[in-house]
Amino acid sequence: MRAIAVSEYGATPALTYLPRPEPGPGEILVKLVAAGLNPHDWKIADGMLKDTADAAFPLVVGCDGAGVVEDAGPGVTRLRHGEQVYGVFTDVARGRGSYAEYAIVREDGPVARMPAETIYTHAAAVPTACATALDVVERAGLGEGRTVLIAGATGGVGQAAVQLAARTGATVIATARADAAGTIRRLGAAHTVDHSAGALNDQVLAVHSAGIDALIVTAGDTARTTELARLLRPGGTCVSTVWTADPDAMADHGLHGVNHADAPTADALERVAHLVDAGELRVHIERETTLEAAPDALARNRAGGARGKTVLRIL
Ligand SMILES: NC(=O)c1ccc[n+]([C@@H]2O[C@H](COP(=O)([O-])OP(=O)(O)OC[C@H]3O[C@@H](n4cnc5c(N)ncnc54)[C@H](OP(=O)(O)O)[C@@H]3O)[C@@H](O)[C@H]2O)c1
């Protein structure tokens, strides 16, 4: 099968021909129609997990995908041949990922039936970004009368978080450069602040002088998160997907700091599918390209400036 893989950590991802994987007990084989790109993909290929998991090489790049159940190992009961599924297909220890014609996932792992009204290229863009956004918005404790700042709002996770946060009734302040501010407001942000245009805290206080109850961070470094956390009122919560929260230091200031690490679950994917079907969560596909163009697409994402999701067509 065609796959995009790295021969070692840090190698340039390249088109590779690999044997089709065989599903073991409890596993399903999915014929992927599309894969979704996440920053995680190039981070894992770079070696982000090298201290925590032994990888098998060639290591197929990518996590998110959507396709059709092609085969199942012994003991599989939840999903059947021919079902349209989407999920997270990565197993570094076995060299497996989603930038490939076929991928394996445990039936009790992060896989669910696709949102009913979507096409494969759309569904493939959803899993990691939307399930992560669902988690971080819940962990931020939002609701009517509360105010949240979302730093990194223009990316895949951020755009989903803006919509889900606004659905809770919270007032959403979101970062966006000028070119993206209108889009982010249409997704539900009450205000946007421009992280490329001067002191962010001053911009937030200018639109909301009382400070914020929650801070969701999907971009920037620890120093920036620490600075933004000064906007939090006592008892406020900071949730970071980029591990920039310092929970101990925040606790010293009466704040709750969380670094989010949880992988998407089947339950989260099912909930996300319902939200997508109900039209309550929209995913903007910024770029659709081919599997073969994945190395360029990864380089582009690494350079920054994402304004939505990138999807790779596999079939
Ligand atoms: N821990 C977890 O479980 C988990 C799960 C999912 C994602 N993540 C991580 O979360 C991060 C975001 O993921 P994603 O899929 O949303 O990425 P993405 O789609 O590539 O988007 C990143 C966005 O951040 C913006 N940005 C960059 N620097 C910024 C800054 N200093 N302030 C405000 N915005 C900034 C970028 O726009 P500009 O370049 O124009 O500023 C871009 O729109 C990634 O690092 C990813 O690895 C972690």
195 CA to middle of ligand 1, Å? 13
Residue with tokens 């889009």: 183
User: Which residue's alpha carbon is nearest to atom 25 within ligand 1?
Assistant: 152
Cβ-contact 247, 239 below 8 angstroms: no
Give dist(CA 142, CA 189) in Å, integer: 14
CA torsion sign, 144 to 136 to 265 to 33?
positive
Residues with CB under 6 A from ligand 1: 38-40, 43, 128-129, 132, 151-152, 154-158, 175, 177, 195, 218-220, 241-242, 260-261, 301, 304-306
Query: CA 20, 26, 30: angle at the middle one, nearest 5?
Result: 35
Mind listing the pLDDT tens digit for each residue in 69-118?
999 999 999 999 999 999 999 999 999 999 999 999 999 999 999 999 88
Q: To the nearest whole percent, how much of the chain has pLDDT over 70?
A: 100
Q: Which pLDDT score is estimated for 262?
A: 85
39 CA to middle of ligand 1, Å? 8
38 CA to middle of ligand 1, Å? 9
129-259: CATH topology: Rossmann fold (3.40.50)
Mean pLDDT of 161-182: 98
Mind listing the pLDDT tens digit for each residue in 241-277?
999 999 999 999 999 999 999 889 999 999 999 999 9
First-last CA distance in the chain: 11
Q: Alpha carbon 101 to chain centroid distance? A: 21
Q: Which pLDDT score is estimated for 52?
A: 86
User: Which residue's alpha carbon is nearest to atom 17 within ligand 1?
Assistant: 155
Mutate to test the pocket of ligand 1, among 218, 238, 265 (most ligand atoms within 8 A of CB): 218
Which carries the bigger pLDDT value, residue 44 or residue 262?
44
pLDDT at 53 over 90: no
Burial class (CB in 10 A: 0-12, 13-18, 19+), 309: buried
pLDDT at 131 over 90: yes
Within the chain, all domains assigned CATH 3.40.50.720 are found at 129-259
Cβ-contact 219, 164 below 8 angstroms: no
Q: Which residue type, as a one-letter code, is found at position 263? A: A
Within the chain, all domains assigned CATH 3.90.180.10 are found at 2-126+283-313
User: Which residue's alpha carbon is nearest to atom 12 within ligand 1?
Assistant: 218
CATH tag for 2-126+283-313 (out of 1.20.1740.10, 3.40.50.410, 3.90.180.10, 3.10.20.30): 3.90.180.10
Q: Which atom of ligand 1 is nearest to the CA of 301?
A: 20
Question: Across all residues in the chain, what is the average pLDDT?
Answer: 97
